[in-house]
Amino acid sequence: MISHNDLVMPRSTYDVTYPLMSRGWNLQERLLSRRILHFTDCEFLFECKTTLFCECGCISQEFIGLGGNNSPKIGFERAMADISRASESMPMARYPQTKATTVAWTMIIAGYSTRQLTYSSDKLPAISGVGRKFSLPKTTGSPESRTYLAGLWLEDLPWLLCWRAFSWTFEKRSEVYCAPTWSWASLATPVIWDFNIFDTRSKIEVINNYTVPQGQDQLGQVRSGNIALRGAVQKARIDFEVSDDRVLGLRNGRGERVSFVLDHNRLGLPSDEDTEKGVDLGQRGAFSLRDGEEVACLWVLHNPANDGVWGLVLASPSEESISRSASGCELATVFERIGVITQMPWK
């Protein structure tokens, strides 16, 4: 039996059956096409907006009905239908406005983030065509489009901010500036969203937001970006294992250790080789901090069912980031993201 996982579900970086599925630009070409004929060593596969067939019949056996978002293309088409049916009755900052559509977007981005690009600067341009489809009016006949922020959507921003790096072997940030640290596009590593975050309530208010495009495409490469949020913040200190230079987590005000998922590893700072190439993003990571250095935890989501919370771990920005994205802001209120706390019991 032939495995069709790469065609049906987001591919794994360790299991590439169909090499074309590993390329970044290929994803939106697949999603935006009406019909596709896949040529493989063993058979042909046909794909359209409603179904996926193979000659050997394995897909219908392994993925009965292709329910949910199992097929990226079918999931994408369902998301397009959900946009036109999305209700505007739920106010932002409480529940997701377009839950089904936003879940579909996170599934697409999770798969996309595993793919390879020849030029890391293509991170946002290579998904802009799909983003343009997702920016359609929230309801039929509505003149307003959804607001795109460097790979995230303003309408459901609190939930989309809580992405996390997927692998402990994740890499450094891209060699060129791709996005602000609050965007998944700032990393050169796979990212995911915990599915149960969409049953939570937002604990923040979005005060302001902007991104500056590199060119004419508002959904393409960005030069800078900034979001202003209002919410509960707790101070903590970074906790290193000094003997092997390993981040253990955070220490809260009571001295208790708090675990968090780092956005990237110790390669977050430019290496000597990067410096010689002129690579200096100025974006910070956990390994650019000192043991005991103070950080801020912004509580973003709360699940009343189990009292769990999600939060962003924030550090003071570098001078480069301030000049790029924080013009006119008070330094004390400007932060860069270095990680995320996932479903921690509220105390």
Alpha helices in the chain (DSSP H): 5-8, 24-32, 58-62, 72-85, 99-112, 128-134, 157-160, 272-277, 319-325
Structure tokens at 344: 């921690």
Of 120, 178, 177, nearest in space to 151 by CA: 178
State the maximum Cα–Cα separation within the chain, in Å, rounded to a whole number.
Answer: 62
Task: Specify whether the CB–CB gap between 187 and 106 falls below 8 A.
Answer: no
Q: How far is CA 198 from the centre of its chain?
A: 14
Task: Specify whether the CB–CB gap between 324 and 284 falls below 8 A.
Answer: no
pLDDT of residue 39: 82
Q: Give the count of alpha carbons within 13 A of 276, CB side only.
A: 3
State the burial class of residue 120 (Cβ atoms within 10 Å of its Cβ: 0-12, 13-18, 19+): middle
* Tokens 């043991």 found at: 291
Structure tokens at 179: 């996005």
Give the angle 109-113-115 at the CA atoms, nearest 5°.
125
Give pLDDT < 70 ranges for the chain: 1-3, 5-18, 60-71, 82-93, 137-144, 167-175, 242-245, 265-284, 287, 318-332, 345-347
User: For the chain, how far is it from start to end, CA to CA, in angstroms?
Assistant: 51
pLDDT of residue 87: 44
φ, ψ (nearest 5 deg) of residue 186: -75, -15
Between CA 22 and CA 159 the distance in angstroms is: 27
Task: Specify whether the CB–CB gap between 259 and 341 falls below 8 A.
Answer: yes
pLDDT of residue 314: 93
Between CA 285 and CA 267 the distance in angstroms is: 9
- Structural domain boundaries of the chain? 5-146, 229-345
E strand residue ranges, the chain? 36-39, 44-47, 52-54, 148-149, 152-153, 164-165, 191-192, 201-202, 205-213, 222-230, 233-241, 246-251, 257-258, 261-262, 294-303, 308-315, 336-345
* Tokens 């590199």 found at: 214
Report DSSP letters for 39-69, one per residue: E-SS-EEEE-SS-EEETT-HHHHHSGGG-TT
Between CA 128 and CA 153 the distance in angstroms is: 13
Of 42, 153, 139, nearest in space to 108 by CA: 153
pLDDT of residue 274: 46
CA R_g for the chain: 21
Between CA 24 and CA 39 the distance in angstroms is: 19
